[in-house]
Structure 1
Amino acid sequence: MIEVPLHEVAHGRAGDKGNRLNISVIPYKPEAWPLLAEQLTEARVLEVFRHRGATAVRRYEMPRINAFNFVIDDVLEGGVNTALNLDGHGKTMSFRLLALPVRVDRTMLADASPWAEDTSPGDVAQAQKT
């Protein structure tokens, strides 16, 4: 097992409605879904967005299509029409979730992942600096 950012094993889509954010997480490989189900809990996702005022997360599992849908309340500072920040839309928020570290087997990585070969994350970080 190795620890990698979620985006190495899954992609996401996001949308917003008012002050509610909706993020789907879809593993690149179906065999990653059970491991992600263990790690992407409502509590863990809430912690990712708590600094933005999120008050609740509901996770909807879609095992037949190997996906999750997270609905996050009160995370958009009132929504696109009331927020003072530059981008009140939820689309950019999926990247925060996709940066979350997860532990997976190396075989579950996307083929283009820098971690797909037999290197440690430290080796990859060093290679990216050069």
Structure 2
Amino acid sequence: MNKTNIEAKLKGNMAFEMEINGHKVVTDATAENGGNGYGPSPKALLLAGLIGCSGIDIMLITGKMRLDIEDVNVDVEAETRDEDPKIYNYIKLVYKFKGKNLPYDKLERAVKLSMDKYCGVAAMLNKAVPINYEIQIIEE
């Protein structure tokens, strides 16, 4: 079983610096919320974690499928409710694949496998908020 240990230190006001496997990450609140904006909000990092987790899965899966993907961009939209705790009402991911002759059905299978089976971040978030996705192919 793997364990994750993260050390966080207050860096002033509301900003925290974390050491994650040798990488430093800073989170902070926006100025409107009393912070200084020294880093992204923790909830934004959660979304970034979802993109990274599913993106890694998708690249591994499409690599095994021998798809010639030239580039991938992922956009995420998440609406936050007004009441506390300010959780997301929904999360929507848009995967934009660039390449020649990319088969939609294989890309859809790769994304579905990631979101439904392999991505631990998606599995955890799906218990709290609906996650939807869209696939776009950009032909060269």
TM-score normalised to structure 1 length: 0.36
Q: Over alpha carbons, which structure has the higher Rg?
A: 2
Q: Which has the higher contact order (CA 8 A, sep 6+)?
A: 1
User: Which of the pair is proportionally richer in strand?
Assistant: 2
